[in-house]
């Protein structure tokens, strides 16, 4: 293979990124480090199939009474009246008849503690009538306590009319008079006003390792206490938000961008269920909990109103909201790419929408403008002030935004008109903002071609109409091999965002079979870096035992992270992005006939990066010459991804990346069934 001295096309440094959607417990129970499930007593249970969706309140989900050896059980009521926040109106009214009673949370597959680690616990409580003095917080399993702390209860000052007068006034009613006198005798310095919610913070240190344990709050006396927003987060959570091992897995990729908050959940199963970014910022207590779209079964072959998924209580607490997504991007050094609804529910599931000529639709457009202000606006602006109040007065530097997800033009959805309205409104106020459009849910279809026809037609009138079009494809490995050159003949006017893609084997496994196909496709994408500006595998996360979709890039449970071969492909491409491609003048097409897929790029300091996929069952020797046909002699480094063939039941194939120093004398050897990156 001749490595010429020609210059190819520039590669955007942010080309390889991440697509985050709250699916497979990616946020709550995943990247969000919160350990308590249904912390605000707002859980819903989801039922039905497309067209027949509904949910019912199940406020006590994940909670149960706790007794320390007593026979009596406490009373647990989930009530409304004077909530911590109107956004989440339910809270727990707990009645203990004796000391030692409490209530427990099962958490996500149970609480896991690591010996010696500290865990930050917080909750809001209101003492209605309490004879005890403390709240005892513990983590326990099978009668054994693995971590414990207590906090003094703040009791409420009793109230009856005229008990809080600043002047003396004789009471004619002897009963009231006696009660007032009793209140006056109290030491109220550490007491709260009646009905005030008090926030408690306490730290638990794990005495030992444990998994599958319960989180418990118990009382040391009888009484009636109301509780809300109960939280437990490990002290090592990144920025107090993100589960550290999952964050570190993302950081190792060095992603160029993050697309968030998802795909289908952006629209929701209905307009009411859609993702509203303004409800995900501000204080945690004011973020309205909703059922997750992926809690609802989308299998159209099922019948009946009571169909439900195993994880029918899957919800969104929005502990990771739009502010946290921007923080995540900042921590990872990635560009933010938020996706906004264009006024339709998910087209796969519903025909609900607001018409594009309605005042309701204007609100969706305003949401986009306000989001840009939230991300970039000065602290003197309404939404910039909120960002500053949340702890980030500096701009997040947002420079691109995606309008819609997988929509297509239909009898009901006037996608193209909606895009035009969004584009005009955004660019009138923010002319430099890059706007991404959507071309439906898959390639090789009339609706995709129709979408591209629209964008290309609009481009002739308005070159600013669309920076890139979002394409999605979940396809067989063979499709990817057959379409490595898919973007060779694309027009270069409007860019492509390969926003969701993955190779799906027959068993939909995360395996070398799928990973090599994705690596092969990426060689073609990298070669066409002048048209494909952004690319992200999907989905990102999968909590084992809580899957709504497979395959996925990163698997995890309550303790470990399992990196898939598909993950390593993304990591290697993202970690080894050149500044410009090296033209191969058709050599790559000849190599494909031998089952070898390659791309070449060069850094600004003259380093050559060769990426090579060998799909054969035997190793392959690839000759290397320079532009004068002289065999290459160089010292370099190589990263080799190989599989073990070991795929544990229901798990990804076990793989790893081997890094070596490499001496090149005229050729390189690419192992069988491998993906290799060479820098020299």
Residues 6+ apart with CB under 8 A from 504: 474, 475, 476, 514, 551
Residue 151's closest CA among 112, 129, 124, 118?
Answer: 124
Going by C-alpha positions, the residue among 329, 308, 491 that lies closest to residue 399 is 329
Q: Which residues of 260-276 are buried (b: 16+ CB within 10 A; e: fewer)?
A: bbbbbbbbbbbbebbbb
The enclosing H or E element of 676 equals: strand 674-679
Contacts of 441 (CB under 8 A, 6+ apart): 348, 406, 408, 472
Helix (H, G, I), strand (E, B) or coil at 4: coil
User: What does the alpha-carbon distance between residue 115 and residue 420 come to, in Å, rounded to a whole number?
Assistant: 57
DSSP 8-state code for residue 278: G
Nearest to 91 by CA among 119, 66, 128, 121: 128
> Is 338:328 a contact under the CB 8 Å cutoff?
no
- Bridge partners of residue 610, in order along the sequence: 600, 678
Measured between alpha carbons, how far is 650 from 633 in angstroms, rounded to an integer? 45
User: What phi and psi, each to the nearest 5 degrees, are found at residue 415?
Assistant: -55, -45
Rounding to the nearest 10 degrees, give the CA dihedral for residues 14, 31, 383, 264: 80
Give the separation between CA 90 and CA 226, rounded to whole angstroms.
10
Helix axis angle, 565-575 to 244-253, nearest 10°: 50
Q: Which of 66, 95, 60 is nearest to 78 (CA)?
A: 60
Are 519 and 570 in contact, with CB atoms under 8 Å apart? Answer: no
Concerning whether 330 is annotated as a catalytic residue, the answer is no
**3-state DSSP of 474-540:** EECHHHHHHCCCCCCCCCCCCEEEEEEEEECCCCCCCCHHHHHHHHHHHHHHHHCCCCEEEEEECCC
Whether 223 contacts 130, CB under 8 Å: yes
Alpha-carbon distance 498 to 438, whole Å? 11
Secondary element (H or E) of residue 360: helix 359-376
**Catalytic residue among 406, 423, 500, 509, which?**
406
Give dist(CA 232, CA 229) in Å, integer: 10
Closest CA to 486 of 335, 360, 597: 597
E strand or H helix that includes residue 371: helix 359-376
> Which H or E run includes 119?
strand 118-130
Cα(372)–Cα(338) distance, integer angstroms: 10
d(CA 576, CA 592): 22
Short-list 37, 29, 27, CA closest to 105: 37
Rg over CA atoms, the chain = 29
Provide the annotated active-site residues.
406
């Amino acid at each position: 293979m001749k490595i010429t001295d020609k210059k190819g096309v520039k590669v955007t440094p942010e080309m390889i990124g991440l697509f985050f959607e709250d699916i497979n417990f990616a946020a709550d129970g995943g990247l969000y480090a919160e350990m308590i499930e249904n912390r605000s007593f707002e859980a819903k249970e989801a039922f039905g199939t497309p067209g027949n969706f509904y949910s019912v309140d199940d406020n006590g989900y994940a909670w149960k009474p706790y007794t320390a050896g007593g026979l009596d059980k406490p009373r647990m009521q989930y009530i409304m009246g004077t909530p911590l926040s109107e956004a989440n109106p339910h809270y727990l009214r707990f009645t203990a008849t004796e000391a030692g009673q409490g209530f427990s949370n099962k958490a996500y597959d149970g609480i896991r503690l690591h010996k010696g680690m500290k865990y930050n616990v917080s909750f809001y409580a209101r003492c209605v009538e309490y004879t005890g003095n403390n709240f005892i917080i513990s983590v326990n399993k099978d009668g054994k306590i693995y971590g414990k702390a207590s906090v003094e209860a703040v009791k409420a000052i009793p109230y009856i009319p005229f008990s809080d007068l600043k002047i003396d006034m004789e009471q004619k009613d002897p009963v009231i008079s006696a009660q007032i006198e009793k209140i006056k005798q109290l030491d109220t310095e550490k007491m709260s006003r009646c009905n005030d919610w008090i926030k408690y913070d306490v730290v638990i240190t794990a005495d030992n390792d444990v998994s599958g344990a319960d989180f418990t709050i118990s009382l040391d006396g009888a009484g009636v206490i109301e509780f809300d927003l109960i939280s437990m987060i490990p002290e090592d959570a990144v920025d107090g938000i993100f589960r550290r091992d999952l964050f570190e897995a993302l950081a190792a990729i060095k992603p160029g961008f993050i697309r968030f908050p998802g795909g289908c959940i952006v629209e929701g199963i209905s307009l009411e269920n859609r993702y509203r970014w303004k409800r995900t910022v501000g204080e945690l207590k004011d973020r309205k909990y909703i059922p997750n779209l992926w809690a609802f079964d989308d299998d159209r072959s099922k019948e009946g109103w009571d169909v439900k998924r195993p994880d029918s209580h899957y919800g969104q607490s929005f502990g990771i909201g739009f502010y946290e997504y921007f923080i995540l991007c900042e921590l990872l050094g990635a560009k933010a790419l938020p996706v906004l609804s264009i006024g339709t529910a998910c087209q796969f599931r519903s025909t609900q929408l607001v018409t594009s000529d309605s005042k309701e639709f204007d609100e969706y457009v305003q949401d986009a403008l306000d989001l840009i202000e939230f991300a970039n606006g000065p602290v003197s602006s309404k939404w910039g002030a909120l960002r500053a109040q949340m702890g980030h007065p500096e701009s997040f530097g947002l420079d691109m935004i995606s309008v819609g997800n997988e929509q297509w033009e239909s009898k009901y959805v006037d996608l193209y008109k909606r895009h035009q309205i969004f584009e005009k409104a955004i660019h009138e106020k923010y002319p430099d903002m890059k706007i991404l459009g959507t071309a439906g849910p898959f390639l090789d279809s009339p609706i995709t071609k129709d979408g591209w026809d629209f964008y290309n037609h609009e481009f002739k009138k308005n070159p600013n109409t669309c920076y890139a079009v979002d394409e999605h494809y979940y396809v067989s490995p063979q499709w990817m091999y057959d379409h490595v050159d898919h973007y060779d003949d694309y027009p270069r006017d409007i860019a492509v965002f390969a926003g969701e893609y993955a190779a799906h084997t027959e068993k939909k496994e995360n395996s070398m079979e799928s990973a090599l196909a994705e690596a092969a496709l990426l060689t073609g994408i990298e070669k066409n870096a002048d048209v494909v500006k952004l690319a992200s595998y999907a989905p990102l996360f999968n909590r084992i035992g809580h899957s709504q979709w497979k395959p996925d890039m990163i698997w995890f449970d309550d303790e470990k992270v399992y990196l898939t071969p598909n993950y390593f492909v993304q990591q290697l491409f993202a970690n080894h992005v050149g500044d410009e491609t090296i033209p191969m003048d058709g050599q790559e097409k000849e190599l494909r006939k031998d089952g070898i897929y390659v791309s070449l790029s060069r850094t600004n300091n003259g380093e050559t990066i060769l990426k090579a996929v060998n799909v054969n069952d035997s190793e392959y020797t690839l000759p290397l010459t320079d532009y004068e046909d002289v065999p290459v002699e160089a010292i370099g480094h190589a990263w080799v991804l190989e599989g073990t063939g070991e795929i544990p039941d229901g798990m990804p194939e076990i793989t790893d990346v081997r890094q070596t120093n490499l001496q090149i004398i005229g050729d390189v050897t690419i192992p069988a069934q491998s993906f290799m990156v060479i820098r020299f």
